[in-house]
Structure 1
Amino acid sequence: MGALVNRKHSLGNQIVTHYLQAVVLVVVVVVVVVVVVVVVVVVVVVVVVVVVVVVVVVVVVVVVVIAVVVLIVVVVVIVVVAVVVVVVVEATVLVVVVSIVI
């Protein structure tokens, strides 16, 4: 009779042990999945932030280059207009002086 009780306890212990092993396995799998998901999310967020920063830097550089080119064009146009105005004024003065002298 004692052997039968021991076998029942042994069988019960085996069932509990297998149940605990299954629970531990499920917990480990869940923890691993959560860690992998968190790592993937962090990597995706870092990649998105890096891409956004690179795009912003490229846009800023392009805007600065366009602004510098526009500024250079404006300065060149102003200088050309000033030179043309000076030449026209000098030519007009020269024509007036020559016509007065003649």
Structure 2
Amino acid sequence: VVVVVVFVVVVVIVVVIVVVVVVVVMVVVDVVVDVVVVVVVVFVVVVVVVVVVVVEVVVVVVEVVVVVVVVFVVMVVVVVLVVVVVVVVFVVVVVIVVVIVVVVVVVVMVVVDVVVDVVVVVVVVF
């Protein structure tokens, strides 16, 4: 009877120890798995946020560069057009002035010639 009681007590102690060890191992494994899942999720979220921020920064930089290039091209085109218009206006004014001067000189020459001819004829006739 004593041997049976001792045996039962030993078996109960061993079973309790085994159950406690199994429960502790299960709890530890559960905690480790939870921690790993949280770490992986946090890592993935951080990576996604970093990628989104980098992409946004790149997009903003590209937009700024495009705006600067467009503004520069428009300024250059405006300056070239202004220079062309100024040159064309200058050439037209010079041509008009030259034509007026030539016409005036020719008219004056013709008038002077006619007057000289008339004077010569009057002097010869007189």
TM-score range (shorter-chain normalised) is over 0.9
Q: Which residue of 2 aligns with 1:18?
A: 42
The amino acid of 2:79's aligned partner reads: V
RMSD: 0.9
Matched residue, 1:81:
105
Question: 2:26 matched to which residue of 1?
Answer: 2
Q: Gaps spanning 5+ residues in structure 1: where? A: none
Deviations 1:66-102, CA, capped at 9 Å, x for gaps: 1111111011000110011001111111121111111
Look up the equivalent residue of 1:53 and give its one-letter code. V
1:41 is matched by which residue type in structure 2?
V
TM-score by length of 1: 0.94
Distance, in Å, in 1 between the alignment partners of 2:49 and 2:36 is: 20
Identity of aligned residues (%): 59
4+ runs deviating over 3 angstroms: none
TM-score, length basis structure 2: 0.77
Deviations 1:20-70 (A, max 9, x none): 111111111100000000011111111111111111111111111111111
Aligned to 2:20: none
Written as runs of structure 1 = structure 2, the 5 A alignment for 1:1-102 is: 1-102=25-126
CA distance in 1, matches of 2:29, 2:40: 16
Aligned pair count reads: 102
